[in-house]
Structure 1
Amino acid sequence: MSDVTYLGADRVPSPGSGLSFGIDIGGTGIKGAIVDLRTGEFVGERHRIDTPQPATPERVARTVNTIVEHFGWTGPVGLTLPGVVKDGVMTTAANVDRSWIGTDVEALFRRSLHGRRVRVLNDADAAGLAEQAYGGGAHLDTGLVILLTLGTGIGSAVLYDGTLIPNSELGHMEVDGIVAEQQASAKVRKDRDWSLKTWAGHLSTVLVHYERIFSPDLFIVGGGISRKADRWIPHLTNAVPVVPAALRNTAGIVGAAMAVVDDR
């Protein structure tokens, strides 16, 4: 990764030459960076600002503009949001204000970013794109890859032959009569004080269900608990290989930067 930090228009690299820009919008922080798409690495450091509260569309859009201006970036911008985005409209909202539901988010960010081209997608979908290209799924040119982000809930991204099937929301699927994220998220483990081995048993039940429906070739698991993957992956009993996410907290930004370039 470059050791240069770009903090102004007089020092920022121009768009092109494999560079793009991504912003990851979360419930507590909004993070952005210039991304070198040849390597999947940041050019300099990311810039983070606390998510405004309440996290309404207009307040978040102003914060996004501040981050872009911080870098002096002039090109297209990819953005992630914690919710389902269809045809540029957000139809669900997680950890942000419910006023996002029904908002034309691509129009919102085009307006706040003075008319430049934008692409907005679900945060787990963005992470899936990045992991497929640069992380745990980079060795698979063909086949079905499912990324799961294990945190407060279970986010998901489904990719077939490298193509994203958006807004999968597999964490909301019922498994043995219980919603998957209510029995196998990292939050459930913490709330119930399960050992990693006990929790891995519940996650295995969910993974086996996904295998029966989708016949994937690989699971990639992200979220903070993936840092302990060597302590719980050996306890999984499902058949399909499971690998930890490699990009960790950079994946959303990288995937957003990829998406806006691919959306030409």
Structure 2
Amino acid sequence: MVHAIGIDIGGTGIKGALVDTDSGQLLSERLKQATPPGGEPDDIVAVVKTILGQVGSAGADVPIGICFPAVVRDGRTMSAANVSKKWIGLAAEQLFERSLDRDITFVNDADAAGYAESEFGAAKDVDDLVIMTTLGTGIGSAIIYRNQLVPNAELGHIDIGDRHDYEKFAAYSAKERKDLTWKQWAGRLQEYYETLEKLFSPDLIIVGGGVSKHADEFMHFLKLKTPIVAATLRNNAGILGAAALAAHGSGDRPTRGAEQLVRSTSTNPPA
């Protein structure tokens, strides 16, 4: 039995727990504290230290994985979603390691959720290409190929037709902002997922994010060639994925980031 600690940092809350990375079971209570107002780096680090202090079996030999709402490259946060802009370009992994006085694995939050679904959830028995999407304020995404994470796939930002940055049109926040019915919103998602099919030919698409608990309201409207299912791990996905990546010695280093692939891919033909 391999134990690891997973910490999931979000714009409103920071969660953590001790995890059995063989079974995907939480071995401690899931602890949660509010993300400090403004989401400043030092303030968030302080909350993470507090949570780690409350998690049992946090010895120096227990791996720690931390997931964060940003593109993560070589331990640096290259973007910032719902946290301070001071994170942009910050050597965040080093900041945590200095503050915690130990090594960590530091990854993007959607990547952690996608990896968790491939290890313990909806994609556990799928050996080929899986795309996980998280529908919320934006559209987060993760690519898993044969149980290996391809990090930093920002698939919410693709252009479809004349719409730039399609997440602004199809994220759950767009449904709320425009007061769309489930069917109207599903029409926007249909175009989005058809585009992912065309670009990547995945074997499975997983729909995550908080709205996945309402999957029965909208997913039956989606008509795709690719099987598409709701995520199963929900609020524990980030914790489980971060812990599993830490235990497996993975992160954003082994595989080239996918954002270059996305930039080179377009649904519009070249001029």
TM-score (norm 1): 0.91
Asked if the contact 1:22–1:253 (Cα under 8 Å) also holds between the matched residues in 2, the reply is yes
Give the whole-Å Cα distance in 2 for the aligned partners of 1:259 and 1:104. 19
SS at match of 2:79: coil
Contact 1:119–1:259 (Cα < 8 Å) also in 2: yes
| Alpha-carbon distance in 2 for matches of 1:70, 1:253 | 15
Q: Which residue identity lines up with residue 131 of structure 2 in the other structure? A: I
Where do 1:43-54 residues align within 5 Å? 43-54=27-38
Structure 2: how far apart are the matches of 1:61 and 1:131? 27
Within the candidate set 79, 83, 90, 1:92 is matched to 79
CA distance, structure 2, for counterparts of residue 195 and residue 127 of structure 1: 27
1:101 maps to amino acid: I
After superposition, residues 16-165 of structure 1 pair within 5 angstroms as 17-72=1-56, 73-74=58-59, 75-114=62-101, 116-141=102-127, 143-165=128-150
1:177 shift after superposition: 2.0
Extract structure 1 runs of 4+ deviating beyond 2 A. Answer: none
Shift of 1:182: 1.4
Query: Is the 8 Å Cα contact of residues 81 and 123 (structure 1) preserved in structure 2?
Result: yes
Question: Within 1, Cα distance between the matches of 2:52 and 2:212?
Answer: 30
TM-score by structure 2 length? Answer: 0.88
Cα distance in 1 for residues equivalent to 2:100 and 2:171: 36
Residue 157 of structure 1 contacts residue 168 of structure 1 at CA under 8 Å; is this kept in 2?
yes
Cα deviation 1:27-78 (Å, max 9, x = unaligned): 1111100011121111131111111122111111111111101124122210
In structure 1, distance between residues paired with 2:94 and 2:245:
17
* Aligned residue type for 1:235: F
More moved, 213-222 vs 44-53: 44-53
Question: In structure 2, what residue type is equivalent to 1:245?
Answer: A
1:240 aligns with 2:226: yes
How far has the Cα of 1:144 moved from its partner?
0.7
| CA-atom RMSD in angstroms | 1.1
Query: Equivalents in 1 of 2:158, 2:184: separation in Å?
Result: 21
Asked if 2 retains the 8 angstrom alpha-carbon contact of 1:145 and 1:220, the reply is yes
SS in 2 for 1:137: coil
Q: Partners in 2 of 1:107 and 1:224 — Cα distance? A: 30
Residue 174, structure 1, aligned to residue 159, structure 2: yes
Q: Which residue identity does 2:82 align to in structure 1?
A: N
